[in-house]
A and B are shown apart, each in its own frame.
Chain A
Amino acid sequence: MAISVTPTVRGTISLDEFISFCRANVRYDDEDSIMSAAEPLAALANDDMLLVNAINSDLFRSIENRGNARVLSTQSLLLHIDPIFKVRANIWKKPIERPGTPYHDNAVYSYEYAHNHNFQLLTVGYLGSGYWTDIHECSPEKIVGYIGERVELRHLERTSLPQGKVLLYRTLKDVHTQRPPEEFSISLNLIIGHPTGEVADQYNFDLETSTIQRMVSMPLGSYLSVLTFAAILDSRSNLDATVAVATSEAHWRVRLAAFQCSAILAKSEARTVWAKAVGDPHPRIRDAAATYLSRS
């Protein structure tokens, strides 16, 4: 079973009161502290005017013109942002059956998309019968983090998020696949990020093969962008720098990308580059080197 409760709280609290509670009580690495916010979150969700007032605020008026204010994605409205947590509302709609739109709507609402989060997410149903979700559990400490990696996923339950129900999606561990709701629904989310701002891997999984299908986010991804640019530009003058990155103490994925980029830039001397990778401390890099050297 996933972690869920249906608080019986009847009164309401304001957004400011909820924020104060979270600042004083909620900690990223303490699931009990996060669950202590379940009742206050449910009380916040009891406020019928919460979203109407938010939409009517000056901050949201700017959305009418620019559209990018205080939002995460097109189905989300950001109600508050603090250094380590955010409060947002998410809209959930049924995909419209027209050519092209199931794909489009699935992308907007992340339907049929098994993924974990690199943040703690406590959520409450605010309106409607809510989306459906299949929740699996993984052991993040056992994951190396590469496309195609086999990951043990244990099915916990299929559940929904009707008005008043609170669900906790544990950071990294819970893998969920959203399914469309039966009616227009809205949820409120409390999102708690790592206090240091550290970004852990976040994955999209293929449930049929129980493998990692795509990286949703990863540390030092910007390094990978630059290394890709360098590989495309194919200028040998960048070789010293890319080899230096490859042999640095950067994350193993950055080092692997730097070895691959260096091998492209080195052209006929690619073998020399991969020879340096043989002694890398990370097995994925040693495997890549061995594969290349055995073929060439």
Chain B
Amino acid sequence: MATLDERFYLDPKNSGRFGTLQSLVTSIGRSSDSTEPGNVSDWHSAFCALLRSRELEVAIAEILVALSRECPFEPNWMSALAEEWFIADGPRFSLRAFVAKPANDTVFTSLPYDCLVGNLGPAVHFTRHKFPPDCNREVFERGLRLQRGVFEELTPLQSVVFSSATDAPEYLVTEATLLVELSLKAWAPLVWVFDTTEKSALMCTSSYEAPVRNHAVAESLQHLASKRGAPMEPSLDILKRLTFNKHHHVRWRALQSLCALDFEVAKPYLLRARDDPHPLVSDAARKAAQRLAIT
């Protein structure tokens, strides 16, 4: 038994017991070195093989034996709170197992990334709702209704491919089950939140943390410079940089802060934003420029 501090099941010495898992992780890790994120469905057959191999169940059994021998076990790859196991994690992919439990949720969300989901426990059901074909996933539209999908079953050892571009799966879990998810870290532009009754969009959130932090930084800099009396130049430099951020809400927040701090500095950035690729930014910038009569 290897030490439980490490992911013993990924140790090449244990390839006899965990060959299918190691093969999947090694291949996907190697392919992740390329610049293209790839397609998660390329890994579907290897993922199915992993589910069928029962190697994940063997790993859990071995961890239990180690615990029964009072082996210390506080690894960072096994969640202490969320009943979640980070089986393997690379710069561009994540393989995790997590418990899905019955819940009476009033909302469900679109996916932050493309993923494969497999089932190691009792059957679970889901409805694969679809975004309307003409919907631009990058432009949130409150009240937008999903096209209702067909009720499907994910039986034990079965797996399914979900696309973040089109799918918003709504799960019906009647009995706790253990799901395995393989995802590529190619983030959807936004995660949309829908109400379960109407399947209509309520709000959106970021699909990962970087844009949220950058938005917070842009807002903080405005308040720090205007209320703390700090020299403005360093804040302006950061804000100018953030107006080029790849997330539209960060670009717009940075522009708002720039305008609040030094309108003369902000002017060329505001004018440029009239041609921003995101309609919310370009529309707002055009209106602002028009109202302020700047050209």
Q: From residue 194 to 248 of chain A, which have CB atoms closer than 8 A to chain B?
A: 199, 215-218, 220-235, 237-238, 240-242, 244-245, 248
B229 close to chain A: CB less than 8 A: yes
- Kindly supply a per-residue 1/0 record for chain B positions 107-143, scoring 1 wherever the CB is within 8 Å of any chain A CB and 0 otherwise: 1000000000000111000000000000000000010
Asked if B28 is at the interface of the complex by the 8 Å CB criterion, the answer is no
Question: How close is B284's CB to chain A, nearest CB, in angstroms?
Answer: 17
Bound together, the chains give a CA A74 to CA B206 distance in angstroms of 11
Q: Please state if B78 and A232 are interface contacts (CB–CB under 8 Å).
A: no
Contact A233 B121 (CB under 8 A): yes
In this complex, which of A68, A104, A127, A233 has the most chain B Cβ atoms within 10 angstroms of its Cβ?
A233
In angstroms, how far is the closest chain A Cβ from the Cβ of B79?
6
Interface residues of B in 216-252 (CB under 8 A from A): 216-217, 219-221, 223-225, 227-231, 234-235, 237-238, 241-242, 245
- Cβ-defined contact, A229 with B99, below 8 A: yes
B209 interface residue (CB < 8 Å to A):
yes
A75 within 8 A of B: yes
Q: In the docked arrangement, what's the CA distance between A229 and B79, Å?
A: 12
Q: Which of B34-42, B67-75, B144-152 lies at the binding interface?
A: B67-75
Q: What distance in Å separates the Cβ of A21 from its nearest Cβ neighbour in chain B?
A: 23
Give the number of chain A interface residues (Cβ < 8 Å).
60
Q: Is the CB of B64 within 8 A of A238?
A: yes
* Interchain CA distance A220-B78 in the complex, whole Å: 10
Q: Considering the complex, give the chain B residue whose CB is closest to the CB of A64.
A: B214
Q: When the two chains form their complex, are residues B202 and A65 in contact, meaning their CB atoms are under 8 A apart?
A: no
User: In the assembled complex, which residues on chain B have CB atoms less than 8 Å from the CB atom of A77?
Assistant: 213
Q: How far is the CA of A228 from the CA of B231 in the complex (A)?
A: 54
| Contact assessment for A249 and B78 in the assembled complex, using a CB-CB cutoff below 8 Å | no
| 0/1 interface trace, chain A 168-197, chain B, CB 8 Å (1 if under) | 000000000000000010100000000000
A48 touching B229, Cβ below 8 Å: yes
What are the residues of chain B within 8 A of A53 when measuring CB–CB? 234
B interface, how many residues as a size bin? 35 or more
Cα separation A2 to B114 with both chains bound (whole Å) = 48
Q: Indicate if the CB atoms of B80 and A100 lie closer than 8 Å.
A: no
Q: A53-B234, A225-B84, A241-B61 are in contact. Are A248 and B221 (CB under 8 A)?
A: no
B74: nearest chain-A partner, CB-CB? A222
Contact (Cβ within 8 A) B67 A225: no
**B213 proximity list for chain A (CB < 8 A):** 63, 67, 71, 74, 77
Cβ of B288 under 8 Å from chain A: no
Judge if A5 is at the interface, Cβ distance under 8 Å: no
Are B230 and A49 closer than 8 Å at their CB atoms? yes
Residues 231-274 of chain A, each 1 if its beta carbon lies under 8 Å from chain B, else 0: 11111011011101100111000000000000000000000000
Contacts of A74 in B (CB 8 A): 209, 212-213, 216
Whether the Cβ atoms of B178 and A241 lie closer than 8 Å is no
Q: Contact: A100 with B178, CB < 8 Å?
A: no
Does any Cβ of A come within 8 Å of B83's Cβ?
A: yes
A256 to chain B, nearest CB (A): 14
Q: Which residues of B contact A (CB under 8 A)?
A: 57, 60-61, 63-65, 67-70, 73-75, 78-85, 97, 99, 107, 120-122, 142, 176-178, 193, 202-203, 205, 208-214, 216-217, 219-221, 223-225, 227-231, 234-235, 237-238, 241-242, 245
A-B contact pairs, 7 of them (CB 8 A): A53-B234, A67-B212, A215-B81, A221-B81, A225-B84, A228-B99, A241-B64
